[in-house]
Amino acid sequence: MILTVKEILDATEGKLLSGDINICVSGISTDSRTIKPGDLFIPLKGERFNGEKFIDDALNVGSASLTESTNCIRHDNKPIIFVEDTKDALHRIAKYYRSKFNIPFIAVTGSSGKTTTKDMIYDVLSMKYNVLKTIGNFNNEIGLPLTLFTLNDDHDMAVVEMGMSGFGEIRRLKNIASPNVAVYTNIGVAHIEKLGSRENILKAKSELIEDFKNGDTVVINADDDMLIKMLEKKGPKFVTYGINNGDIKAFDIELNEESSKYKVLIDGYVLDVELNVPGKHNIYNSLAAICIGIQFDVNKEDIRKALAKFQPSAMRLNIIDVAGIKIINDVYNANPSSMKAALSVLGGYTERRKVAVLGNMLELGQYKDIAHREVGEYVKENDIDVLITVGDYALKIADGAIEKGMNNDNVFRCANNAEAIDVIKNIMKESDIFLVKGSRGMEMEEIVKFLQESAYK
């Protein structure tokens, strides 16, 4: 990435406090600890941090800095640019930089499955193209711009992930990235605390395609009762996928403990798809990737090969074998849909004692009690042998399981991870399989770490 200070001034409508407008920057950093020579430092502010304090440190290494203060200390005549809002300036620079690339941009959003779907799409497209994808889970108003700054002339297209928790966030991300293809996974109840209803979640997610027109493409899960309402929108081309409905529809589905198979009909050609990841939800994720592969003329056999070698990101339904026990590590995050999907995977094991360690699901607002209770009912429906709940909200998971008929002696209620670990120490048996899952704020990777270490003792 090469941008002149003049380009940055024009993009941000900022004011040069010091330095030369012809100096170039070769990178963007929002963290003074990782800044490199040539970087522009963008000092962001939050409830617990103020990047302005580190401008001097950043300029000891980097080439230029933004600031919200006109009293910023000059530093060896390196460019310092005053802007009203550094976060807004980050967005403006990213939007300007993205405009330099006339390539397709695919945006993936939904209540769950975004990262896996994005990664599958990337693997499929990479069979034919040089593709940029969202770094890790950089799907917010800071992460998306940082991803865009890694664009270069070698990229043929980009696939980016867009998350949100309220109205306006998807619109801001869309305005930065200017996608012309949108992929929707599902509309669940994640973030319902702020938005109040699934209808409002759909409305917020629909900000992504509000400017879509003829020539743009929207790929949706046709089995989702909310997403099918999008088909009423005029203008863009709609492509649908699903198991029960869709232009691209899976059939002859075979769900195994750690893999899945299905067939799909594409232009009269039957494609046999094998995934090295379990669960019906991953069939949906892969169908979205197939739709995108077809959209961009990837060879059908190459699509099959890409999906066959797919591996999930860390802490997303990772199945770990450790000294006789199995661990399903799905602790990255949790909402009711992803909880049920993970429990379906655990329920598919027939030769092992199945232990579900489930933590609080956050950001569900007034829906939290019924959502946790429904997950508890799903625990019993999937014949889980032992349930360990972690956190106050998760007590309702225990209630739901017991009300559905689970033996109370096999249900353990824990206030935190430490208590859950103590329970596991007392009940763990050789050949058990553990599912560990909860919202990110529960930090349940602590339990996964304990399981991995204790299995060897």
> Which structural domains are found in the chain, ordered by start?
3-84 (3.40.1390.10), 101-308 (3.40.1190.10), 318-454 (3.90.190.20)
The CA distance from 9 to 44, in Å, is 18
Backbone angles phi, psi at 108, to 5 degrees: -110, 130
Residue 165: how many other CB atoms lie within 10 Å: 14
Q: 15, 142, 146, 10: which is closest to 87 by C-alpha?
A: 142
Summarised one tens digit per residue, pLDDT across range 137-186 is 788 999 999 999 999 999 999 999 999 989 999 999 999 999 999 999 99
Quote the pLDDT of residue 182: 98
Quote the pLDDT of residue 75: 64
Q: 202, 199, 134, 201: which is closest to 173 by C-alpha?
A: 134
- DSSP-assigned states of every residue in 347-379: HT--SS-EEEEEEPPPS-GGGHHHHHHHHHHHH
Strand order in the sheet with 64-67: 15-18, 80-82, 64-67, 39-41, 27-29
Residue 196: how many other CB atoms lie within 10 Å: 12
pTM passes above 0.85:
yes
Contact at 8 Å (CB) between 384 and 358?
A: no
Contact at 8 Å (CB) between 415 and 368?
A: no
The CA distance from 134 to 160, in Å, is 5
Longest dimension (CA), the chain: 73
3-state secondary structure of 144: helix
Quote the pLDDT of residue 72: 67
Bind-site residues: 110-116
Radius of gyration, alpha carbons of the chain: 24
Strand order in the sheet with 354-359: 318-322, 325-329, 433-437, 354-359, 386-390, 411-414
Bind-site residues for ATP: 110-116
Q: Cα angle at 330 between 141 and 357, to 5 degrees?
A: 125
Residue 322: how many other CB atoms lie within 10 Å: 15
Q: What pLDDT tens digit does each residue of the chain (457 aa) get?
A: 899 999 999 999 999 999 999 999 999 999 999 999 999 999 998 888 889 999 989 999 999 999 998 876 666 689 999 999 999 999 999 999 999 999 999 999 999 999 999 999 999 999 999 999 988 778 899 999 999 999 999 999 999 999 998 999 999 999 999 999 999 999 998 878 889 899 999 999 999 999 999 999 999 999 999 999 999 999 999 999 999 999 999 999 999 999 999 999 998 899 999 999 999 999 999 999 999 999 999 999 999 999 999 998 877 889 999 888 999 999 999 999 999 999 999 999 988 999 999 999 998 988 999 999 999 999 999 999 999 999 999 999 999 999 999 999 999 999 999 999 999 999 999 889 999 999 999 999 999 999 998 865 5
The CA distance from 293 to 287, in Å, is 10
Quote the pLDDT of residue 122: 98
Whole-number Cα distances in Å, 400 to 162, 359, 385, 405: 33, 14, 15, 9
Quote the pLDDT of residue 299: 96
Quote the pLDDT of residue 344: 95
